Amino acid sequence: MDLFGQYVINGLMLGTIYALVAVGFTLFFGVLDVIKFSHGDVLMVGAFTGFTAAAGAAALGLSHPALQLAATVVFALAGTALLGAVIAKWLILPLKNAPRLNILLATLMLGTALRESVRLFYPDGSNPKAFPALLPTSAWQFGQFTLRVDSTILVVTGILVIVGLHLLINRTRLGLAIRAVAQDEETARTMGINYTLIVLVTFALGSGIAAVAGVMDGLYYNEINFGMGLLLGLIGFSAAIIGGLGNLYGAILGGFLFAALQMIGAVALPFASAYKDVFAFAVVIALMAWKPTGLIPERASDRV
């Protein structure tokens, strides 16, 4: 039973991370109808920025983990938000009227460039980095079931970010503008919305949220590497697709569903847990064949 509990916590943890990656894909698709394949690598850059900030804070004598964590989060968020806006302004908006495949290919190549740049130019970038344990390492004991404090903080933080995003999109003027641009760019412009600004803010927002996922991943596994964005990006993209691309809640659902599939693959099926990704992706393929427009199709619900 305690093993089952650990798997549930692990699944929630991964589901939160995947959901945070998937909402980025869905936000970008919502406002610009584009798939930004560099998203996973932007996440990786966020994790490395956070890692560097933690090291920098430590070097400056800020020894308290909370201060290092604050530096990690602030720099990771700001760095990726800026990177996301730069990518939108200089790569994606100029290609807006080009065939979709061009944008897909351009962002795929950008992702590779980001990945290789970190590998080549970051000090000892080709080796995994030990991410510092900045969260309390204690644990609560419930009978045989152990609940780690750090996991709990991470899951709760991730869910708060998702709830915050929901409120931002549905309750604020900025969110209203994002939804208007997603539905009808030209009419949104004639309402007086600064279209370019909203696109840049949306890309900054989606990228910042990916950085949260990247830092969470680093804190959870105590390790980051230059290739971490590849699988996380692919999983986030799959989660957004099976949820129904363009739908925020579909993306969140998709993220948790993918994590659940991995856990089922690891625990419940009669083969080695190393096959969990094979199982999860196979189910994703089957789901896409069954519901090509996703579990929450865009037409039946709000876009973004």
Partner 1 sequence: MDAQTPAIEISGLHTAYDKADVLIDVSLVAKPGEITCLLGSNGAGKTTLIRSILGLTPPHAGSIKIFGEEIAGEQTHKVIARGVACIPEGRKMFPKLTVVENLRLGAYQEPSEAEIRHRLAEVYETFPRLAERRNQLAGTMSGGEQAMVSIGRGLMGKPRVLIIDEPSLGLSPLYVKENFRIIEGIRDKGLTVFLVEQNVHQTLAIADAGYVLSGGRLVAGGTAAELKSNAEFHAAYFG
Among positions 189, 230, 267, 293, the unique one binding partner 1 when judged by CB under 8 A: 189
Give the span between the Cα atoms of 84 and 32, in whole angstroms.
14
Residue in 266, 231, 279 with CA at minimum distance from that of residue 6: 266
Site for partner 1 contains 187 (CB under 8 A): yes
- 278 sits near partner 1 (criterion: CB under 8 A): no
- Residue among 89 and 303 whose Cβ is closer to partner 1: 303
293 part of the interface to partner 1, by CB under 8 A: no
Query: Of 165 and 188, which CB lies nearer to partner 1 in the complex structure?
Result: 188
Stretch that binds partner 1, among 34-42, 59-67, 192-200, 260-268 (CB under 8 A): 192-200
188 touches partner 1 by CB under 8 A? yes
Nearest-Å Rg of the Cα atoms of the chain is 19
Q: Is 179 in the site for partner 1 (CB under 8 A)?
A: yes
Of 32 and 76, CB closest to partner 1: 32
Nearest distance, CB of residue 187 and partner 1, angstroms: 4
186 in contact with partner 1 (CB under 8 A): yes
How far is 39 from 45, CA to CA, in rounded Å?
A: 10
- Minimum CB separation of residue 190 from partner 1 in Å reads 5
Exposure on the CB side of residue 213, measured as CA atoms within 13 A: 34
With the CA atoms of 185, 186, 192 and 195 taken in that order, what torsion angle do they form, in degrees rounded to the nearest 10? 40
Residues 124-163, mask of contacts with partner 1 (x by CB under 8 A): ----------------------------------------
Q: How far is the CB of 57 from partner 1 (least distance, A)?
A: 38
DSSP 181-204: HHH-HHHHHHTT--HHHHHHHHHH
Q: Is 109 in the site for partner 1 (CB under 8 A)?
A: no
Give bridge partners of residue 146 from the DSSP assignment. 141
How distant, in Å, are the alpha carbons of 6, 155, 157, 177 from that of 161? Answer: 23, 10, 6, 20
Number of Cβ within a 10 Å radius of residue 93: 17
Q: Which stretch binds partner 1 (CB under 8 A): 36-44, 92-100, 111-119, 181-189?
A: 181-189
End-to-end CA distance of the chain: give it in Å, rounded.
39
* 107 contacts 92 by C-beta, under 8 angstroms: yes
277 interacts with partner 1 by CB under 8 A: no
User: Is 302 one of the binding residues for partner 1 (CB under 8 A)?
Assistant: yes
Kindly list the residues in this chain that would bind partner 1 in the complex (CB under 8 A): 173, 176-177, 179-180, 183-184, 186-195, 301-303
